Chains A and B, each alone.
Chain A
């Protein structure tokens, strides 16, 4: 009983000032024993319960839809071209890379066929949106992709755009031409000036994307 009281007091003290404790100390306090874990869960449940009561009123779904429509159908931001290209490849590498071992290093090359192709591609790019944590990317049709061990033309229809979540284990720092960029304040530069994009994921994955104009073999022209 005395031990329970002591654990309860430690828990309450810590919750009043968690910044004074290290992550390990917080873990140790909450996980002291099953009773203490239960206390924390009960306190969280109490707070959730009060918030549930406060928010359990009919919401104006129509007004919420208007906000959604305004934000996502009418005012989608266009990212700079270089960022669109980068986003496509970040998504591609990210999704493909999930099946590879962590800490693997990639080197990718994006090849543009010619200016006509570039126009073709631009017409078929959707708008991209971004916020602090996420870039919603659109898959370019017929993009020439070369990785360490495979070359192909990506021809997924653009409407199947994957959503790239950059958070948690996959948080990334992005360097453009060697300089770190802030995803919330994207620089605006022409694609022709993009020499190198490096994406450093927090778990050690390194991706280089290098834009280099090349000729695509005629055999790969189908659909263009």
Chain B
């Protein structure tokens, strides 16, 4: 079994970044924690640990693959309900670059959308509300909410090609 001290060092050094990526992809803290723990269980039971210089890339790739595998296990209906990525691992080849892009999408929305577009955008993607619930919360017609959200997406889509 793997040396516990070395494993602990790896865990403490990389945990924050691993859990961040897992939560970004899975949207769920408990599931993200499971992913990270599972990776370390596998390491614990193997005799081979990634070397220092390769550890980060190895662990982040393991997180990415585990998350994508977990998402794949869900039905298509579940995936789209939660707005999970339908991407494959190869779409996430460059993890840092991809993370930078998705954060840039939010930054752009926050800086360029006006009201009520921004509120609707946040309620849909940050608060994860359904459009009919947003309409009810904002006391708007559902079609109006559709219209504002469509406009927001088109504005952002002009800036990003994902």
Contact = CB atoms under 8 A, between A and B. Distances in A.
Given A46-B125, A71-B37, A23 B103 contact: no
B150 A12 contact: yes
Nearest to A161: B45
B4 to A, nearest CB: 7
Interface in B99-146: 99, 101-107, 109, 121-122, 124-126, 128, 130-132, 146
B42 A163 contact: yes
A221 interface: no
A51 B13 CA distance: 22
Contacts, number: 163
B146 A9 contact: yes
A75 interface: no
A64 B33 contact: yes
Which of A5, A18, A43, A51 gathers most chain B CB within 10 Å? A51
Given A9-B150, A47-B128, A68 B27 contact: no
Main secondary structure of the interface of A (DSSP, over half): helix
Contact of B81 (A18, A43, A62): A18
Interface string B32-55: 110011101110111100000000
Interface stretch (A52-60, A145-153, A205-213): A52-60
A12 to B, nearest CB: 6
Interface residues of A, number: 55
A197 B45 CA distance: 26
B19 A55 contact: yes
A123 to B, nearest CB: 16
B12 A65 contact: yes
Contacts of B20: 52, 55-56, 59
A43 B125 contact: yes
B24 interface: yes
Nearest to A72: B41
Contacts of A46: 102, 105-106, 109, 121, 125, 156
A90 interface: no
Main secondary structure of the interface of B (DSSP, over half): helix
Contact of B76 (A27, A41, A50): A27
A139 B12 CA distance: 29
A50 B69 CA distance: 22
Which of A12, A39, A67, A68 gathers most chain B CB within 10 Å? A68
Given A12-B146, A47-B27, A59 B125 contact: no
Which of A23, A39, A45, A54 gathers most chain B CB within 10 Å? A45
Interface in B1-28: 1, 4, 8, 11-13, 15-16, 19-20, 23-25, 27
A110 interface: no
B86 interface: yes
B80 interface: yes
Contacts of B126: 47, 50
B57 interface: no
A23 B75 contact: yes
Given A52-B99, A68-B40, A38 B11 contact: no
9 contacts: A5-B150, A23-B75, A44-B84, A44-B85, A45-B85, A46-B105, A47-B83, A65-B12, A65-B15
Interface of B: 1, 4, 8, 11-13, 15-16, 19-20, 23-25, 27, 29, 32-33, 36-38, 40-42, 44-47, 69, 72-73, 75-77, 80-81, 83-87, 99, 101-107, 109, 121-122, 124-126, 128, 130-132, 146, 149-150, 153-154, 156-157, 160-162
Q: Which A-B residue pairs are the 7 nearest by beta carbons?
A: A49-B106, A61-B15, A55-B23, A50-B126, A46-B125, A49-B102, A52-B24
